[in-house]
Amino acid sequence: MGDTQVFHYGVFLMKAGMSPYRQIIDFNMPGSYWFDFLGTTLFGSSDLGWRLYDYTLLSLLAFATISITSTCDWFAGLYAAVLFALIHASEGPLATAERDEVMTVLVVVGYALVFLGVRYRRPVHFFTSGICLALAATIKPTAAAFEVLLTVTALFQLRKEGVRTFPFLRAIVVATLIILAATLMFLLWRSSFNAFLMRALPLGAFYSASIRPSFPYLLHYSTPRGLIPLLPLAGLLFFLNRSWRDWRFRVIVGGAILGLASYFAQTKGFAYHRYPFVAFALLWCGMEFTAALRRGRLIGAIGGAGLLIGAVLIAPFYLYRTFNFVQTDLISMGLVNDLERYPSDKLNGRVQCLDGVAGCYSALYRLRLKQSTGLMGDQLLFSSHPNPAVDTYRDEFMNEIKSDPPLIFVETSYRFGDPQTFDKIDAWPAFAEFLRTNYALVGEGPGDLRTQGADPLGYRIYLQAGSQLTATTQ
């Protein structure tokens, strides 16, 4: 569901021989596809496999946070990991193994490895940390800031302890260069380097500019409700515990600040964009609360209150939200049933989605059907936001479908950042005329959306006029 279908289907197209960015038109970073490939390879392509992958990520996060806090109180790491998992689960299946979740896990694991490197004075831990942090940056470039902050802070601490820092710096720099070289080699191997520069970067800029909620909106959704009562207590204890003296606390607080900056930098206000902030903020809270228990009665009472609020109020709140979350993939389910009525050998390579993330790509992925083109999202084609790239991509798409017309178009009413409507194709009059002249509406779902109006998400199936392709009756 959601963004996951784009990466699943993108990996499917790559396995079918298509080149990312050159033939598969998308703006996401290479690491997003690598980790989708890793998850589906290890756990399979089923929905259950993807859920197991999500559980594995959350387990890795727990191991990392417990490792980070093991020198002071391991329970702080467990506290942070469990609350993070509950907040994540309460946001529904759309957030399962999202890019920002994978990035967050890699960053926190990178933190844990550097903490081990400082504790045991071993540069190899800095090397493995550099691998994790650089991989995180191949998913979202904002992750690079975490590596800089962590490296500088840890090196200063080692120097303060009288340790020669060059081997540690060399280890993390070499690891980062290895991942950069691997990324470059991947793009060159798939003949996609120039396309990545010419397509992905401009498309990413278009996507970033297409939805820009107001700052009050971003601020309002920047912090999960469960964190709101915890952060003031942690802030108070930061001074009462004199935590600023400990480099570990400073770098954790810095991670929370960078996580919040990453959320605002993405300018969308999506819940999963807050994951780095949430993970580090919860880790900081857990460390402050458990540290306070070892101090005087008043300070200990504040720390105990923070732990109790998390266990007695916040955890049950998110459990309730998780168990009562209802979200169904109606479009994908209905579309799979409708497309199965046509011979799959006739449809393979001859069906085209006009969709964003509403379910068309999910349906094609489940049916293992290859698209007519490599278009991954119709935001540019039917955009209501002026952009110099729009005409270029419209011309390219029109040339492709005219040279080898699809037998079937699947249009969803999904519009990124705009009201849902099937009339979105009218934003490109030439294509709307082409579709209505050469194709006939033969099906729609998940209900009679023509009478329901424009609000519900739905899909329409258009069959090429004069085609001998027929659907079997159900």
With a cut of 50, say whether residue 450 has pLDDT above it: no
- Residue 472 domain-assigned (yes or no): no
With a cut of 50, say whether residue 448 has pLDDT above it: no
Do 302 and 346 belong together in one domain? no
Residue 355: the pLDDT is 92
Do 114 and 132 belong together in one domain? yes
Higher pLDDT, 326 or 76: 76
Determine what percent of the chain is predicted with pLDDT higher than 70: 96
Collapsing DSSP states into helix, strand and coil, what is residue 23? coil
Do 203 and 276 belong together in one domain? yes
Domain termination residue (choose one: 283, 299, 323): 323
Confidence category of residue 183, pLDDT binned at 50, 70, 90 = very high
- Most confidently modeled range among 279-288, 342-351, 377-386, 416-425: 279-288
Residue 383: the pLDDT is 80
* Contact partners, residue 457, CB within 8 Å, separation at least 6: 330, 331, 358, 359, 412, 413, 414, 420
Confidence category of residue 377, pLDDT binned at 50, 70, 90 = confident
- Residue 65 domain-assigned (yes or no): yes
Do 312 and 416 belong together in one domain? no
Higher pLDDT, 370 or 392: 370
How much is the average pLDDT of 107-124?
A: 97
How much is the average pLDDT of 408-425?
A: 87
Residue 111: the pLDDT is 98
Domain termination residue (choose one: 279, 295, 323): 323
Do 68 and 122 belong together in one domain? yes
Distance CA 98, CA 95 (A): 5
- Residue 471 domain-assigned (yes or no): no
Whether 123 and 170 have beta carbons less than 8 Å apart is answered as: yes
Do 230 and 86 belong together in one domain? yes
Do 310 and 336 belong together in one domain? no
Tokens 């069959």 -> residue: 463
Do 295 and 343 belong together in one domain? no
With a cut of 50, say whether residue 449 has pLDDT above it: no
With a cut of 90, say whether residue 184 has pLDDT above it: yes
Buried b (16+ CB within 10 A) or exposed e, 372-392: bbbbbbbbbbbbeeebeebee
Confidence category of residue 454, pLDDT binned at 50, 70, 90 = very low
Domain span including residue 109: 3-323
Q: What is the pTM of this model?
A: 0.92
Amino acid at 381: L
With a cut of 90, say whether residue 13 has pLDDT above it: yes
Do 286 and 405 belong together in one domain? no
Residue 455: the pLDDT is 53
- Residue 135 domain-assigned (yes or no): yes
Higher pLDDT, 209 or 187: 187
Tokens 């952060």 -> residue: 231
- How many separate domains does the chain show? 2
How much is the average pLDDT of 144-155?
A: 97
Distance CA 86, CA 333 (A): 27
- Residue 473 domain-assigned (yes or no): no
Higher pLDDT, 296 or 206: 296
Residue 333: the pLDDT is 84
Do 238 and 372 belong together in one domain? no
Whether 363 and 332 have beta carbons less than 8 Å apart is answered as: yes
Do 66 and 182 belong together in one domain? yes
- Residue 108 domain-assigned (yes or no): yes
Largest CA distance in the chain: 83
How much is the average pLDDT of 52-81?
A: 96
Average pLDDT, the chain: 91
For residue 340, what are its two tokens? 């199965």
Backbone angle region of 422, left / alpha / beta, with phi > 0 → left and psi within -120 to 50 → alpha: alpha
- Residue 429 domain-assigned (yes or no): yes
Domain termination residue (choose one: 277, 300, 323): 323
Confidence category of residue 212, pLDDT binned at 50, 70, 90 = confident
Do 274 and 340 belong together in one domain? no
pLDDT tens, residue by residue, 26-42: 888 999 999 999 999 99
